[in-house]
Chain A
Amino acid sequence: MIHQYKNNGFNIVLDVNSGAIHVVDDVVYDSIALYEDHSKEEIIDELSGKYSVEEIGEALEEIRQLAEDKVLFTEDDYRDYIIDFKKRPTVVKALCLHIAHDCNLACKYCFAEEGEYHGRRALMSYEVGKAALDFLIANSGSRRNLEVDFFGGEPTLNFQVVKDLVAYGREQEKIHDKNFRFTLTTNGVLLDDDIMEFANKEMANVVLSIDGRKEINDMMRPFRGGKGSYDLIVPKFQKLAESRNQMNYYVRGTFTRNNLDFSKDVLHLADLGFKQISVEPVVAQETDSYALREEDLPQLFEEYDNLAKEMVRRKKEGNDFNFFHFMIDLEGGPCVAKRLSGCGSGTEYLAVTPWGDFYPCHQFVGNEDFLMGNVFEGIKNTDIRDEFKSCNVYAKEKCRDCFAKFYCSGGCAANSYNFHGDIHNAYDVGCALQKKRIECAIMIKAAEALSEAE
């Protein structure tokens, strides 16, 4: 299976099953499109108006060579492998701890409904958090690296518990030969020197929520009284980013129908000095006024294309930044097993509510149909776990023939559930955007590689 496309002046051919990427000239590009279901004579006949017979002959020979080298037209031999892989016993390696179901902002698109997750306001106690870490260690088998995200609502509203849990984790990791990687997701309102110092010492990553331009951020991320949060958080985020040497953090925004020109928000964040940026499409119900619609896709594609072009330009100038959704690791990325087996929600990854209930991930918290158990008794509803365990690229009709399957791993189960009532489906607008982002990410790599070669 191949995927070929043109972007920013490059002709790109992705051999999906091997992961090989070829930048080709026009004659090869056109020949590849015909190669599988046309004879050599037919291809020459069809293309001879555009190219010389000699050129077409050269192109076909190079294509034949690539196929022989197993970097073009390779077969998908992974299906049985992944099904067997997914049958392995489940271990848990990551928890999302909902430290506070409360928030000091009132963001309009919040899936947690101002932190309450369709429930009551609550803070996680140290005892619940400790039991969660004990559960994680006990259920992690031989996996050494364990991830714990301090999430909310807003976790800084309950920061002493965060500190105490980190101290407990550091003590326990020595005893059990584990390595905790803690992360913190915050809106920045309460961020102060004390929290920054602690985060820099203990957090492998911090996620700083901001949407971009002041008017965009303040429209969707106000305080309860309506006042915007931009002016308060920007200097604090800049300080924290610098204190982390511009690494191991993300400023993370959400774009909605209110800012379809979101590339301006990405560039605004870059112009504020941030080097690690993620601005992502909102996940909303179709009925929400700010939800992205299918009709918005052409504009959004153009935004991604323009952003990718601008990033190539800035990189040449030595003024580059990372955009999370364009980051792609071609030489050292994950193995096939990882790529095809899904995100791990409900199996390797669980969300824990302030009172200790387990859900498959933070997006399902509050939906009682997905309540899996709790930190004191463990996983009680194994049917839910098994349903998530069966979720992989080959279990999803829409993913099987999609070129993006090795890069998105079948997409987000929660998105699929929100739009189709089934975790084994896929959210179509999300898929379209994901595919576009992969194309842009590969184009950037191609531009970098060819620029280095020059």
Chain B
Amino acid sequence: MKHVTTLNTRRLQNTVKKGGCGECQTSCQSACKTSCTVGNQTCEQTK
């Protein structure tokens, strides 16, 4: 495309079927305990 650069992202729609295994970390526990930062979590299935 001439006017648009699309970044590589995981399509959220595609995670519905196989998602929800729950093996990932609880979202408030990685760096700091008073902030929810789910967007940076690593999916255990894509490790």
Contact = CB atoms under 8 A, between A and B. Distances in A.
A, B from the same assembly: yes
Judged by DSSP, the binding face of A is mixed
Given A205-B30, A250-B31, A336 B22 contact: no
Interface in A1-52: 17-25, 27-28
Judged by DSSP, the binding face of B is loop
B38 A20 contact: no
Interface string A437-454: 010010001100110010
B16 A330 contact: no
A327 interface: yes
A85 interface: yes
Nearest to A145: B23
Listed residue (A17, A77, A332) with the most chain B CB atoms within 10 angstroms of its CB: A332
A406 B15 CA distance: 13
Interface residues of A, number: 87
Contact of B10 (A74, A144, A250, A331): A331
B22 to A, nearest CB: 6
Contacts of A23: 4-7
A96 B29 CA distance: 9
A147 interface: yes
Given A339-B12, A410-B36, 15 more contacts: A18-B9, A23-B7, A81-B16, A147-B29, A207-B33, A252-B32, A280-B32, A281-B35, A324-B31, A332-B43, A334-B15, A336-B19, A412-B28, A412-B35, A441-B39
Interface of A: 17-25, 27-28, 58-59, 62, 65-66, 70-71, 74, 77-78, 81, 85, 91, 93-94, 96, 111, 143-145, 147, 149, 151, 181, 183, 185, 205, 207, 250, 252, 276, 278, 280-281, 283, 324-325, 327-339, 342-345, 348-349, 361-363, 406-412, 414-415, 434, 438, 441, 445-446, 449-450, 453
